[in-house]
Structure 1
Amino acid sequence: MTFMMCKYHPDNQAIYLLWNNSMLQFACEECTENEKKQENRQILKLLSIRKALKEPDYFIREFNLNKENKQIIGKIDNINVQELNKLINTIDSCVKDLQISLSDLINQLKEIVFKIIERKEKLRNNLEKISYYAQFKEVFKCLDNQKCLTDDVVNQIQDNIQQIFLEIEKNQNSFNQEILEQLLIPKNNKLSITPQYQIFKNKLENLKNSIAPLPLLLQNTRDQNQDPNSYQRNLKFSNNYKQSEIVLSLNEKVAYAEQDIWQVVVCDQNQDPNSYQRNLKFSNNYKQSGIVLSLNEKVAYAEQDIWQVVVCEQQIPENRKISFYFKILQIHQFYSGICFRNRIDKGYRGYVSSIGHGYYLMCRYGHVYSHHDQDINGQQKGFQSFQGDVIEISVDMIEKTITWTNNRSNSFKLTIQTIDPLYPCLRLAKSKVQITER
């Protein structure tokens, strides 16, 4: 969507709405910081415009909801789609030894996960039908059609938004009732995994008396019509499992699944440490149009001398240390590193002169760029890169560092933040780069 510039700080985009019952104004980051510093400031609510336009549940949560709607909206937030999607990939990598016996079980677990995701998407789609939210989006749709944003136009938009907000405050009962009607989705049918589990259990009985512990990721999603207190389950696992203890633990999990708790097992202890690098590829969805992908999305080529950004498909796993490799096939302008994909978009050219840009990068001349550290952003701290070089990038999500190393043993380490999911990325112009395994 089109964003206007801040009235009070013309160099900044107006990305927030500051408002209360008596006023509303567009605001930038600097406005919000200044407002926090005022000693006798009036209490204002802060609304992120971009987030509100994408997430109706975030928009609705800013107003006075009744207890029932608060609980239901809270349950939408508890459905962690990112973790559920990551779960499916992790499950697929853990079935080597028990491939045949686990296939039916995994397909059933995937069906449960997809139903949870489908449920969340259906709830969110229904929330977009809320009349006041539709009016809110219509205001910004009209903004996109404006050829010239004069002060009068901006003031009119502010007045329109304020009127919508005041109407919501004034008609809270009807507002909450409309939300409730959109959130009433029939309860899902139970899904049993007992037959597939029995096959899996029989295979486990053939294993040795002691096996490696199975780390567990348990994601519970609560149904809106059930008592939330009934879902308080704490599973404790010993570091030294015996086969019988694992079978007993699995029996517990099957019982919970039969009680209609959405529960999924992830076994990644014995995961191949090289699987991330092997599966890594560039994304067709998160790149600029000037970048051409080839070799099964392993090669990215920016033919023109114009900055182009491409992000990889796979998220960097949390609480792990991983490495990946970029081979420079052709070089003119080349930046490599990682980024917060949700803080950039495929139309963004990757301007990195000021912090907050969403990247941790090193360019071909050794300049490094930090999303959060102004003292190091743009400084020549790293090493130069040349055609034919292989750049190893190691990301330690535990120590919160990124390290670049080339095939001549040059190396540089940079501190990172892990406030949002991170993804490998490149910023290129007239350059070609390939993802390699070493």
Structure 2
Amino acid sequence: MNILKQNQTQETQQETICKIHNLEFIAVDLDLSDKSQIQFFCGKCLVEKINNNKMTTIQQSKERIIQIKIQQKEIKTKETQARLNYYKNILDQMMDFKQSIIDSLDKMQKQIQKYICSIQKEKQELQDYDQQSNYFDDLKQLSELYSQEQQKSSKLDEDTTFINEMQRQFELLFNCSEYFSTIDTFKNTKEIINDVMENNIIELIPLQTIKYDSKTPSLSRICNIHKKEIIMINMESQNKKIEDRFVCVDCISENSQVKYSTIENVNKQWKEYNEESDKIIKEYKKESKVKKQDLMNQLAQMRKNYNKKLNEISDKVISEQFLSIDKQKQPNQIKKISIQTLDDEQLLKDLKQLIEKEKEKVQLNQTVTNYKNKDSIFSKEIEFHLESLKQYDLQDIQQSLDILKGISVEKNLILQLSEIIQQMQKSGQKDENHKNQNNFINEFLEFIDQAKKISIILQNIEVKSNDDKINKSEQQPKSKQQSLLNILKEYQNIFDNNNQQLQKYCNIQQMENDLIKLTETIRNLEIDKTNEINLLQKSFDQQLIQLNDKLELKQKEYKNVKEQYDQATQENINLKNQYEQDKRLLITKSEDEQKKLKQDFNQKLNQKDSQIQEALRKFDQINKDNLEQEKIKKMELEKIQQYNKSLTFSNTNKHNYCSVSEGGKLVAEVGNDHWCFCVCEQAIPKTGKIQYAFQIICEQQLFVGIGFRDIMKQKNFYDCYNVGTYLIQENGYTYSHHNKDIHGKELSFKFKNNDIIIIEVSIEDKYIKWTRQNNPQLSFVQLGIDTSQELYPCVGLYKQAKIKILDCSLV
């Protein structure tokens, strides 16, 4: 019998437990309009029945919380790293911009200082110049002044040009590559922030559907014909409207020949399609971002190269202009002095030049030639810089176009070189005269670079040789010099012609290379297009075969599910009958348990009443004790208040440089160079705890605390912080009469003007405590103070410091 009862109880327990979720039934479906059996539900079944992602069980909510916390942590980590990166980029760019401004200002400062030095030197020469009074020379200068219509200073004109150039350079401070790179960095940072904000989104995970659920998945749509749930979709038929592709059970039975896809399969395909689309979009965004970043870097480099070259040209022009100032000094000096002031060597040299002037005008022509040669060197250098700037622009533009087309710089250079080599080989096969064309071009390019350098060097040598010839009074004949100039001019013309022909040849080569590149890219694109079409066709055929196989499997599963459903409805009827019997037993059992609980509750209630009475008695006793303690505290508070009201600084127990005023409440140091101490009149009581407060009126250097009046008196109240006192200083250092471990160390808090320091002392407990009124958490305590003698409140002052006694009740 016992075995039978156990088996029956086990069967009843199994019938009241959900077979899907292994939980007890808590609800039943009373609507039997479209069902043949009664349905029972557990907690999870009810949540799934509601079919709302905002409704969930406690366990599922815990799992969701864990997943969302993981997502939040990942998003926060990525966001923090992104913020750190773009702020570092902004800082680096700003530092570069700052350094560029500093370099430009330093350069301008050096140029201005150079001008100032030359002007000061000229001023010194004017002061040292010995003005000789020669009436005829003065009369000649006067006549020259009257003969000129308007007096103009060439130096002032040069200063105007120089100031204009300085103004232009100053205006270019905010037109440099670093400035625009900084602006671009700010704009790029905004885009990064928007990108992070768009991507940092928490994905709310929907409830996981149970794979072994007996119910067939359906859409929240109703068939327009049969008014039943949509359980499958027609994915195979061609030329059919989207609305007609949704089918219910009756539609499937009417068109059994058509292959349908279940909701699960379509959902799976939809997820795979979305994942693939997201992957393609992310890859495209990544490639686009890299391309844009490369283009930004290329634009920044172009701007930097352009500004660098312009600055070099500007510096060259300014330096050449500055040198012209020194060149004009010599002719100006010749106008101002006479031959009487010249030394012997200079006199002979100038007379020789004057004699030859009437014959061949050697000196005048040679000087003009010298200036022209120097100007030609200068113009050649400027032309060289401008030509290189042009080449930089062409190269940068080509690289920018390559970045937009997605062609790397290295690949482009390799293609160009390979095409040039192939064309040279072809031309070498057609014409025997071009066999050594490769070596010739390389040697010719090196020859051009060397020729540019040699031409500049030769011109510099020519200028220097001319200066030497002038200094040596034309030791070499004029014919050799003229022939050398003619040779150099012929060499320069040959060089210019060769350079122009080479540039034309390079441009033709570049156009041919671009045409070959375009044809190759078109051919590659057509090949890629055909390959992609073939791959898509193959993948589509494979997916079609897979869908057909899955559809057959689902039809078999549907038959099995229908049989299981019929069996489950019969089991539910049996469970309902058993549930009614168990319900009656539970009701009778619960009534008996309630009676027993009521008796136990009455017993416990009586016990609680007695405990409450005992607690009330103890509470009354505690109130009496509290009242007595409050009376004691009031007495101590009145004692402290009386002590504070009567506390004053002593007019006798103080240093001579301490001045007491305001009825003994204020003390000030008037000596300005001594550590002066002052003691209060009232001693600290032997019993109880007292408090008093000092306000810092003028904080220079000072101490506050307590001390032994007799010991301080022996030192004449001077420098008493080493012995006989317990003090803290405004800089946080502490001083102790007996404890050397804390004496002279920075252990306390710091204070300043208008701070209020509250001092608490207990002779019985042997301690002193300092607290700052505007920050009570800042405090310092010295324990175990010496109480063998009477202690007094005291202060130490230095350099006109001031301290005032306050009433603690008002603080």
> In which range does the TM-score fall when normalised by the shorter chain?
0.3 to 0.5
* Greater fraction helix: 2
TM-score normalised by length of structure 1: 0.37
Point out the structure with max Rg over C-alpha. 2
* Structure (1 or 2) with the greater strand fraction: 1
The TM-score normalised by the length of structure 2 is: 0.20
